[in-house]
Amino acid sequence: MAIRTAPAGEFDARRRTVSAGLRDRKLDALLVWLSPNLRYLSGFTGSNGALLVLPGRGDLFTDPRYDIQAAQETTCQVHIGKGPLVDAVLSAIRRLGVRRIGYEPARMTCDVFESLKSHLPMKSSLVPVRGWIEEMRMVKSPGELDLIRRSVQTNSRAFERTVGRAKPGMSESDLAAELEYRMRRLGAEKPSFDTIVAGGARSALPHAQPTAARIAAGDLVVVDMGAFQEGYASDMTRMLFLGRAVPRLKQMYAAVLEAQLAAIDAVRPGVKAHAVDRAARRVLERHHLGREFVHSTGHGLGLEIHEPPRVGKKEKTMLEKGMTITIEPGVYLEGLGGIRLEDTVVVTGNGCEVLTPTSKALRTL
């Protein structure tokens, strides 16, 4: 059974778009090293590969471990090589007489670049291409939106089923284990990032790893979780209060919720991403929590958990229908704790749809 993130036709269409765009960029080919861009253009999900897109053809290079799988997953011509991928790619470049070859400097290590460059045929050259495929990936197809929707639903169901049974005295890492298990049983391949479960003062670490510490009565617990399902990411953050929250934390929660709703309200096609960030930041500043909001308001997600556009202070990307982003303001007070609320949303024709179905009411266990 092949693992496909979309019908084969969708991958072919994407490669045709790239083929058609080569001439404008004065390129004869685009070389895509292993990355979500490769999966996006070929359907191949293995852990070692390179793709060469030329007008009218796509050539995928991988190793013998993926012989059968590559044939199932992609309509590209598959080349199986036992040696370094660079050698196989270079010999195709020679054989096909490719001259101007676009490469992705954000996705390629210096070592791969140097090995390619030092063995290129005399008349060939490598030309940096920045953000082309990432830009294509920003606006999701209906098929991709379906997959993201399913990933979001799996994630929220896993949260509900787990939290419904969570009890004081569980360790952070056991709670994370339950969340990830539920995700998988509901159809996810894996978490889209290391699940964050952090109780008490540790919730003030925006990217805390779960520890053996037990969540205790009176604690505030941050849960930040996401799934990869059929390759597509979801991302959500919710807060749990074990017992009654102190008034200061309740105030913080209300402020973050207000900021999150304001940012969601600001999402619509034609608006620049920084305006959405501004909407959240303005609310928190009004609550004198501007300095405690130490990160961006959100990020794009799809085949990667973080992909363009960033929803940050300086991000000028204009939002478009079909973009999927997170909205996740948060405030962190060392010693006291942190509060963050996060949804996955999709830009629609006249605003946005919040995909995450999980309630944002202050939740007490």
Interface with its own copies (CB under 8 A): 1, 3, 45-47, 63-69, 103, 105-111, 113-114, 128, 130, 173-174, 176-178, 180-181, 184-185, 187, 189-191, 194, 202, 204-213, 294-295, 334
Contact 93, 101 (CB under 8 A): yes
CB-nearer residue toward its own copies: 105 or 169: 105
CB-nearer residue toward its own copies: 190 or 248: 190
Which amino acid is residue 175, in one-letter code? L
Q: What is the DSSP letter of 139?
A: B
CB-nearer residue toward its own copies: 62 or 358: 62
Nearest distance from residue 230's CB to its own copies, in Å?
11
Pairing of strands 100-103, 29-33: parallel
Q: How many CA atoms lie within 13 A of 6 on its CB side?
A: 23
Q: What is d(CA 142, CA 222) in angstroms, rounded to the nearest whole number?
A: 32
Q: What is d(CA 260, CA 102) in angstroms, rounded to the nearest whole number?
A: 40
Which amino acid is residue 31, in one-letter code? L
Q: What is d(CA 189, CA 155) in angstroms, rounded to the nearest whole number?
A: 11
CB-nearer residue toward its own copies: 113 or 271: 113
Contact 198, 233 (CB under 8 A): no
What are the b/e assignments for 95-130, b being 16+ CB within 10 Å? eeebeebbbbeebbeeebbebbeeebeeebebbebe
CB-nearer residue toward its own copies: 49 or 302: 49
Pairing of strands 337-340, 330-333: antiparallel
Instruction: Let me know how long the chain is.
Output: 365
What are the b/e assignments for 290-315, b being 16+ CB within 10 Å? eebbeebbbbbbbbbbebbbbbbeeb
Pairing of strands 324-327, 343-347: antiparallel
Degrees, nearest 5: CA angle 334-335-338:
60
CB-nearer residue toward its own copies: 214 or 363: 214
Nearest distance from residue 109's CB to its own copies, in Å?
6
CB atoms within 10 A of CB 165: 9
